[in-house]
């Protein structure tokens, strides 16, 4: 019994370490706008702010289990405006924000990689120095998410991500959303999610976001016939040539 109690105490200590590691300021570009997450944690509970374009400030509350953050973004009255889910790794939060369009009722999702301000470099290379480029990665890749609703009021919503890995070491990712139902349609213009530099390192795709001083692992990649499979903290994504 004493050994079990010691084990539980040790696990509790590690949970506190993991929770503390989340605290800080994180920055990203979301829909072309500057976005920030200011987070503080107590055990597994998380509170903070979601800031957009340096002016919109909304409360955030959620839970963090040491790897995954699940949170709600609230307006000043306490009403939930959006949900946020993120996987934490290497001083970054691979984040998905989902909000319901009040006009159509459809859920709109956006993805972004938030980097902690002041984090130490995860890669020993100087900020301007990259590694080799895998020729098989160079070019344009697309990933498609399709959501259909059943029933009489059938509707569909598609998000198309376009990833461009340049032979010059530049990388950009764009997002476009298209949806429609019986009496409505939605078609957003292409939106830049992020840009920066890239290189490949023994099966890992390394990305340095514009304005950041270090390369971070975007995930491990492999090829399956004509498809590119990237597996990272945000799960598995399958890409194909357009």
Query: What integer pLDDT is reported at residue 163 of this predicted model?
Result: 93
Tokens of residue 126, six digits: 């100087």
Integer angstrom CA distances of residue 162 from 15, 63, 145, 199: 37, 31, 12, 18
CA dist 177 and 209 (Å) reads 23
Query: What integer pLDDT is reported at residue 227 of this predicted model?
Result: 95
**Whether the predicted pLDDT of 74 surpasses 90:** yes
The model carries a pTM of: 0.47
Integer angstrom CA distances of residue 72 from 66, 78, 97, 214: 18, 10, 9, 30
Task: Find the mean pLDDT for residues 70-92.
Answer: 88
> Who has greater pLDDT, 37 or 214?
37
Query: What integer pLDDT is reported at residue 164 of this predicted model?
Result: 92
Helix (H, G, I), strand (E, B) or coil at 8: helix
**Contact 147/171 with Cβ under 8 angstroms?**
no
Enumerate residues 6+ apart whose C-beta is below 8 A from 89.
67, 217, 232, 233
pLDDT digits (tens, 9 = 90+) for 182-205: 665 556 667 888 899 999 988 889
**Whether the predicted pLDDT of 8 surpasses 70:** no
**Contact 230/236 with Cβ under 8 angstroms?**
yes
């Amino acid at each position: 019994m004493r050994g079990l109690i010691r084990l539980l105490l040790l696990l509790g200590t590690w949970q506190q370490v993991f929770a503390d590691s989340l605290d800080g300021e994180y920055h990203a570009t979301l829909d072309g706008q500057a976005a920030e997450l200011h987070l503080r944690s107590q055990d597994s509970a998380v509170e903070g702010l979601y800031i957009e374009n340096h002016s919109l400030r909304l409360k955030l509350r959620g839970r963090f289990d040491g790897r995954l953050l699940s949170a709600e973004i609230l307006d000043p009255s306490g009403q939930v405006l959006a949900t946020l889910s993120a996987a934490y790794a290497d001083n970054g939060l691979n984040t998905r924000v989902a909000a319901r369009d009040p006009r159509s009722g459809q859920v709109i999702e956006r993805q972004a990689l938030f980097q902690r301000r002041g984090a130490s470099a995860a890669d020993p290379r100087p900020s301007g120095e990259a590694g080799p480029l895998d020729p098989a990665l160079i070019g344009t890749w697309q990933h498609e998410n399709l959501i259909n609703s059943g029933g009489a009021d059938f509707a569909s919503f598609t998000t198309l991500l376009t990833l461009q890995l340049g032979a010059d070491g530049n990388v950009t990712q764009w997002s476009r959303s298209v949806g429609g139902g019986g009496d409505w349609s939605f078609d957003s213009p292409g939106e830049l999610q992020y840009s920066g530099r890239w290189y490949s390192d023994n099966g890992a795709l390394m990305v340095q976001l514009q304005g950041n001083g270090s390369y971070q692992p975007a995930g491990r990649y492999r090829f399956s016939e004509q498809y590119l499979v990237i597996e990272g903290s945000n799960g598995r994504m399958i890409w194909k040539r357009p």
